[in-house]
Amino acid sequence: MYAIVEIAGQQFKVEKGKKIFVHLLDEEEGKKVDFEKVLLIDNDGKIIIGEPHITGAYIEGKVLEHTKGDKVIVFKKKRRKGYKVKKGHRQQFSQVEILSINEKGFEKKPAKAEARKEEKPKATATKTTDKPAEAVAKKPAAQKTAAKASATKKSTPAKKTAAVKEEKTTPATLTKSKKSADAKATGQKKPAVKKATEAKKASAEKKPAAPKKATVKTSEKKTTAAKKTTASGKTGAEKNKTATRAKGDADKKKDKE
């Protein structure tokens, strides 16, 4: 009779009285262990196959000792990079002896963590029952008072905000009134400005146009000066011509003589 069991993520072929090495278990040495993940049982040619596990079947074992396996060396290297790493590893194992193979009758035991969780609510329930009824009755009143206090706290900030709003509105109204008063004053002053501009225009119309005459005189002076310069230039040129002619006539006479 043999069975195939899954223990700590590995599958083992197991027989009664066989000793196997399994990955480290949490149980202490000398304690019994039950493995419920039974995949197959062969009982003298009668084969039972699980889907994936056989319901109710379990294998009883006993932890003999916790040991370490052989050292495995892990060496890494990258050539031309100067990289070398050498590490050693020893896997921890637990030696288990198989006591019996059972097809039925497995009962799940409550885990330690679940048992602790179940115990904690009981303790809290006893604490609440031990308290007198007067303390339980006082709780609603305390909650009401707390609610009232919170309501009053909420109302006071609302009042403060309303007062702040009033304070904010009053300066705004004052500024608006000032602006309106300034606008009125400027509106009254505008006609005086118009009158001053009209008076300036009238005075400008009454004044004689003196600058125009001055410009005419300067233009006349320029024309006369230009005429004089042209006349003087002509006379000078004519004088030169007459002088050269007289010299030429004199030279001719000398040559003839």
Query: Residues 87, 73: contact at Cβ < 8 Å?
Result: yes
Tell me what pLDDT residue 231 has: 53
Residue type, 55: T
Q: Of 77, 12, 11, 3, whose CA–CA distance to 41 is shortest?
A: 3
The secondary structure of residue 89, as a DSSP letter, is E
Q: Output the six-digit token pair for 151.
A: 């309501």
Q: Where are the domains of the chain?
A: 2-105, 148-205
* Cβ neighbours of residue 3 closer than 8 Å, sequence gap 6 or more: 13, 14, 15, 38, 39, 40, 41, 42, 57, 59, 101
CA dihedral 188, 189, 190, 192 (to 10 degrees): 120
- State the burial class of residue 96 (Cβ atoms within 10 Å of its Cβ: 0-12, 13-18, 19+): buried
Q: With a cut of 50, which residues of the chain have pLDDT below it?
A: 125-128, 130, 136, 189, 214-216
